[in-house]
Chain A
Amino acid sequence: MAYDDYIRKRFFPHIWCPGCGHGIVLNALTRSLDSLGFDKNEMVMVSGIGCSARISGYVDLHSMHTIHGRALAFATGIKLSRPELKLIVPMGDGDALAIGGNHFIHAARRNIDITAIVINNRIYGMTGGQYSPLSGVGVRATTAPYSNIDPAFDVVEMATAAGATFVARTTTYHVREMSKFFQKAILHKGFSVVEVLSQCPTNFGRRNKAGDAVHMMESYKNGTVVAGSADDVPGSGKIRRGVFVEKTAPEYCDEYARIIRVARKGA
């Protein structure tokens, strides 16, 4: 199929564990890129460090695998320097919101036209299962052997508050929805955030008695609800999926182009 064209087969096999959700995200991403049909030379993928960050190496785009937490800062430099390029930044939960939290809120605040994909498996997978800022209270991790007392961020609320102009949430169970949200996010002019709940059976599932990958994906099916649907009632205890923010606001590169025009008039 044509979405094969977006994969660098030379670099396979990939590094992910059996049952990992990251491959599903890569699959949905290549399908959405295929549907969008942009020239591959116009697309740049920038990532940080972690299991999810390895996605950038496997796609046949301009790809940059940077340092932990800083992917959005590198991407900001690329985007501002060449605004015609499409920037996609896949990040893990720790990468995006612990070490990278400051870069995340400031990229959102600027509303720079970058698509941030937060692949949330609620754990530091690559280092062997430490709690992340999205693990939540009660979770067990190698650094929370007696259960975690750190409350979690809500990515959707946080991105919204920081100024992102497109914010959505989906899961690895809902692949068609995921692909659709990716397309919308990439087409959106401004800072777009898609949170994808993704299973880490190796380092989250085992320690938290969440079952294997299939069980964890079933919990995404049964434990989530489409925002605004009939089942979306307060107190249901379910995680809401859907597009929560989709609005227009001045985009940073456009604004900077305006500054260039103003400065050159005086020059």
Chain B
Amino acid sequence: MKNKTAFIQGNEVCARAAIYAGVGFFAGYPITPSTEIAEFMARELPKRQGTFIQMEDEISSLCAVIGASLTGCKAMTATSGPGFSLMQEALGYAVMAEIPCVIVDVQRGGPSTGLPTHVMQGDVCQARWGIHGDHAIVAMTASGNQELFKITVDAFNIAETYRTPVILLLDIPSEGEIEVVERLRTAVKQGVDFHPYLPREDGRLPMSDFGGVHRYNVTGLFHDMWGFPSDDPQVVHGLLRHLADKINNNVDNIARFKEYYLDDADLVLVSYGSSARSALHLVESRRRRGEKYGLLELQTLWPFPHSIVREKCANARYVAVVEMNLGQITKEVKEAVDRPERVYLLNRIDGVYITPTDIRNMLRVIQGRGV
């Protein structure tokens, strides 16, 4: 592949990256615009002794993925908004039982069937709060194919490191050495009492594969260190704290972002996914005219990196969030910065990509210069 440029779809990049990361199991249900990932996996996984199955719906797809992960293999599914809605139940189970897996949501526009073949970034908040109950979650995104490869591998790495589901939010229908991390497996020997849900001091929880020497219980109920159901207030409190802290205490380790011209920027654009590309285009053209624009591109959306956003926006006169929804990340940016009244939302919500010209025109309105 040296010195060759290939034009490939984001879905295929994501699928190739998953193979690179060592995915061994894929279960899914056909849905536009994510189907290419399933098709790729059906073709490629068996060549690598891996397993693909098309399940009867998205509910069972994520269930099968979680089951496969428990046997020790990296597992993923891919879907779009309506399927992602159906997966919320099993997603909550993966959070509670701490099962590593990756869920790709190739976003479409709007609720329900919405705009199946167009693009929006409408599922950002669903990724954060789609499932019931307090919890922490990791959601990531990327603006271009090369970045998407790295972020997909990162998604698997974070899933395995923190024993958590990771959501990959894509809106791209369309090198170097990347480290691949394996999950932490228990060193407890056969015959010694194994506590499958007793975290180490650093919050990590070594796993034992189903079919191995430790037989233990996995449940979606609150559970004690043996994985057995418990409603002891101390156990419940301890587990809920653990589930939140293992993610929230590692925000800096999980946060992925890119920054462009931020050192002296008066106006900081904050964006992610495909809209970050338009934002970067505008920033670079304004820089050529001597205007001090900068871009903070977020690749990890959840847990939201509040302290990073605050630091990067500290010297800006204006902060403008560019996204293709009604301001799902703008709310978080306002919470992060010192002067929320200086944060503006620049968006499109009509299923059409936001262009550099769109961003420029909206900025002129904010700056009182008219379109």
Q: Which residues of A contact B (CB under 8 A)?
A: 8, 10-11, 40-42, 44, 46, 56-57, 60-67, 70, 72-82, 84-85, 102-103, 106, 256, 259-260, 262-264, 266-267
Contact = CB atoms under 8 A, between A and B. Distances in A.
Interface string B190-234: 000000000000000000001111011111110000101100000
Interface stretch (B47-55, B118-126, B334-342): B47-55
Contact of B51 (A11, A42, A81, A266): A81
A41 B211 contact: yes
Interface of B: 24-25, 27, 43, 46-47, 49, 51, 53, 55-57, 59-61, 63-73, 75, 89-90, 93, 210-213, 215-221, 226, 228-229
Contacts of B66: 66, 74, 77
13 contacts: A8-B217, A11-B228, A61-B215, A65-B221, A66-B219, A73-B61, A77-B63, A77-B66, A82-B72, A102-B60, A106-B55, A259-B46, A266-B47
Contacts of A78: 67-68, 70-71, 210
Contacts of A79: 67
Contact of B46 (A74, A75, A76, A260): A260
- 5 closest A-B pairs by beta carbon, nearest first, are A77-B67, A77-B64, A73-B60, A73-B63, A263-B46
Nearest to A49: B220
Contacts of B212: 41
B93 A84 contact: no
B56 A106 contact: yes
B67 A81 contact: yes
Contacts of B27: 76-77
Nearest to A258: B46
Given A46-B67, A266-B47, A77 B25 contact: yes
* Contact residues of B: prevailing secondary structure: mixed
A61 B214 CA distance: 9
A173 B221 CA distance: 32
B215 A63 contact: yes
Contacts, number: 141
A61 B67 CA distance: 15
Given A10-B228, A66-B93, A103-B56, 14 more contacts: A11-B217, A11-B226, A11-B228, A41-B213, A57-B229, A62-B210, A67-B63, A76-B63, A77-B66, A77-B71, A79-B67, A81-B71, A262-B46, A267-B47
A70 B229 contact: no
A256 B63 contact: no
Q: In this complex, which of A41, A64, A103 has the most chain B Cβ atoms within 10 angstroms of its Cβ?
A: A64
A70 B210 contact: no
A264 B71 contact: no
B68 A73 contact: no
Nearest to B56: A106
B48 to A, nearest CB: 8
Contacts of A77: 25, 27, 63-71, 75
Contact of A264 (B47, B55, B56, B59): B47
A62 B215 contact: yes
B210 A67 contact: no
Contacts of A75: 67
B228 A57 contact: yes
A66 B57 CA distance: 17
A103 B68 contact: no
A62 B216 contact: yes
A57 B56 contact: no
A80 B219 contact: no
A40 B72 CA distance: 18
Contacts of B226: 10-11
A80 B51 contact: yes
Nearest to A80: B51
